[in-house]
Amino acid sequence: EDARPGAEPFDVEYRALTRDGRTVWFHDVAAPLEEPGRDGELWLGVMLDVTARRAVEEELAEREAHLRLLLEEVPAVIWSVDADLRFTSSTGGGLGALGLRPGEVVGRTLEDFFGTGDPSFPAIAAHRRALAGEPVDYELVWAGRTYHSHVEPLRAADGAVRGAVGVAVDLTDRKAAEEELRRSYELLRRADAHRRELMARLVRAQEEE
């Protein structure tokens, strides 16, 4: 097809509505060709039906949005570190309780974040084991809150461990509820023991009369 002189190549995606009401996506790529002896230009182009690809992309985007919403709502922290125990990502609704924003610790090491280089410190020891290829669970009290954490090796396509990824769930409220339940049970147990003792005294007093 002839085109105006000086036309530029283009690469666009657009959608169209079919006669039966379906939405179809097309990827259109075209570039002008020069042909000696012609005043105008010829176009060389290709049009692809990318409806299936767009559907997959939209589904993935929807899932990612749902996952982000869950991460923002669940009181958990998710992070990754490289082989030098340097944070490469951090996200999750639990960051707020630590006074942190998503990604704020990226670039810092675990030793710097926790303020210790002690290899026996639970978080550091767990990440070292993860770098050695072992998944690890541990519990840590930090900044006045209690976390159950799980750390896994982060592997490259060839299977080599290139870091670790972890998730920490804030158990503070659950622990507080469990402690309150334990105290309530202890009070009930003591009250029942006291009641039994009073009943025994009453029985003995009646027998002595």
Residue 53 is predicted with a pLDDT of: 84
What is the rounded CA–CA span in Å between residue 145 and residue 147? Answer: 7
> What is the C-alpha end-to-end distance of the chain, expressed in Å?
121
Q: What pLDDT sits at residue 132?
A: 95
Residue type, 150: H
- Of 34, 15, 35, 17, the closest CA to residue 26 belongs to 15
Q: What is the pLDDT of residue 1?
A: 45
Predicted confidence at residue 66, as pLDDT, reads 65
Q: Alpha helices of 38-171 — where are they, by DSSP H?
A: 51-73, 110-114, 122-131
Grouped pLDDT means (10 residues each) for the chain, 209 residues:
58 86 87 65 80 82 68 78 95 87 94 94 96 94 89 91 92 65 66 71 70
Question: Structure tokens of 66?
Answer: 């749902």
What pLDDT is recorded for position 161? 94
Indicate the DSSP class of residue 109: B
pLDDT of amino acid 3: 45
